[in-house]
Structure 1
Amino acid sequence: MVRAGLSTDRLVRAGAELADEVGFEQVTVSALARRFDVKVASLYSHLKNSQDLKTRIALLALEELADRAADALAGRAGKDALTAFADVYRDYARAHPGRYAATRHPLDPEAAAASAGGRHAQMTRAILRGYDLAEPDQTHAVRLLGSVFHGYVSLELAGGFSRSAPDSQESWTRILDALDSLLRDWPHA
């Protein structure tokens, strides 16, 4: 018998909230069962196991992040689009650290194909069209942006910039300025 009020969607959303509170790696079906004050077995009609739960949280987080990025990019181009896109990632990571960590969760090919990951790549490439980069430079630039955004956000979340001047917002702004400049004057092989 399925416990009233429990659904896969509700469990995944609760798992995402739990990830933000305790960290993505700490999320398990057992921890989720404790949150709902139910036996673990009662969740198995909705979730296969903890790996399934984590995959579903990752898919939710990727979708949320893609939706926010798409909203932020609407009507923007060039540096304005680059900054809006970068700020969405940083703001999401700061507001939802566990969900942000989930966006880095390895997905099997079927889950990856069904994820919003492709939307993220399309939006990044759309931003780069404003910089007139052809292949393979566009792919190099996509990798650069992903590395800088994720690296900076990860270091910032870990407290890496909290004890030094200038403050991290000033550095973030300067980094985005530098990326814009680099993309406008991309080095050719």
Structure 2
Amino acid sequence: MPRAKLSPSSVVADAAALADLEGLDAVTVSAVARRLGVQPASLYEHVRGVDALFDGVQVLALGELGALIGAGVAGRSGVDALRGLAEAHRGYALARPGAWAALQRTAGEAVATSAEAARVADLMLAAVRGYPVPARDLIHAVRFVGATINGFLSLTRADAFGHRADSVEDSWAAAVDALDRALNTWPPESAPS
């Protein structure tokens, strides 16, 4: 069967699939070329190098994560939206471990200013706006939520919770409940910063 024509999006999708199967460290131009059955030089027509490949995987992951978050928060507010947001992140980290790992890398300007990144940021802001958080603190609250979710998922991925018999599911539920309480009791606008 003849090989399909390559495109930047097909190369990036294959790189993300490789990351999911073998880990993000396995993603190189040569490794992706081997998977696609082409010479590495052929990929440079579609991506400038490994950094562009990683940027592409990040944008792809942001797009996929944004779709999951959108579905998870649609029509919801408060704790229901927060749970939808958290579960979208968790589901993505489990289903696409390599693509999710790419999201943990520092984003370059092209990734940070992408429509996909803007959508994820907007959805996270929307979820937090369902709480009594003053407008001046919305970004801080979003960072707090993101750091808690990503920290928990990173520790889970590293099997940091594997040494105790206590349920990771219970810990996850407690973390989301703690986020809900923190957002509900965020200091009001009149409080000193």
Fold similarity call, TM over 0.5: yes
Q: Tell me the C-alpha RMSD between the 2 structures.
A: 1.6
C-alpha change, 1:176 and 1:107, in structure 2 (3 Å) is: closer
CA contact (8 A) 2:65 2:92 kept: yes
Give the corresponding residue for 1:30.
Answer: 30
Is the 2:20–2:97 contact (alpha carbons within 8 Å) kept by the matching residues of 1? yes
Q: Structure 1: give runs of 5+ residues left out of the alignment.
A: none
TM-score normalised by the chain length of structure 1: 0.92
Contact 2:132 2:186 in 1 (8 A): no
Aligned to 1:179: 179
Instruction: Report the counterpart of residue 112 of structure 2 in structure 1.
Output: 112
- The equivalences for 1:61-100 within 5 A come to 61-100=61-100
Aligned position for 2:42: 42
Matched, 1:153 2:153: yes
State the one-letter code of the partner of 1:110.
A
- SS in structure 2 at match of 1:165: coil
Contact 2:58 2:111 survives alignment (8 Å): no
Task: Compare 19-28 and 110-119 and name the one that shifted more.
Answer: 110-119
Shift of 1:25: 2.6
Q: How far, CA to CA, are the matches of 1:13 and 1:90 in structure 2?
A: 21
Write the letter of the residue equivalent to 2:152: Y
Task: Please list the CA deviations of residues 71-118 of structure 1 after superposition, one character each: whole Å capped at 9, or x if unmatched.
Answer: 111111110000110011011011111100111333332342124122
CA distance in 1, matches of 2:162, 2:169: 11
Q: Which residue of 1 aligns with 2:54?
A: 54
Q: Percent identity?
A: 40
**Unaligned stretches of 5+ in structure 2?**
none
Q: 8 Å contact 1:66–1:116 — kept in the other structure?
A: yes
Q: Is the 8 A contact 1:29 1:49 kept in 2?
A: yes
Question: 4+ residue runs of structure 1 moved beyond 6 angstroms?
Answer: none
Cα drift, residue 143 of structure 1 = 1.4
Deviations 1:19-59 (A, max 9, x none): 11111132111010111232111212111111111111111
Q: Aligned partners of 1:125 and 1:176: how far apart in 2?
A: 16
CA distance in 2 between partners of 1:15 and 1:185 (Å): 43
Q: TM-score, normalised by structure 2?
A: 0.90
Matched, 1:12 2:12: yes
Deviation, structure 1 residue 17? 0.4
- More displaced stretch, 117-126 vs 47-56: 117-126
CA contact (8 A) 1:7 1:46 kept: yes
Distance 1:102 1:80, change over 3 A: same
Aligned length, in residue pairs:
187
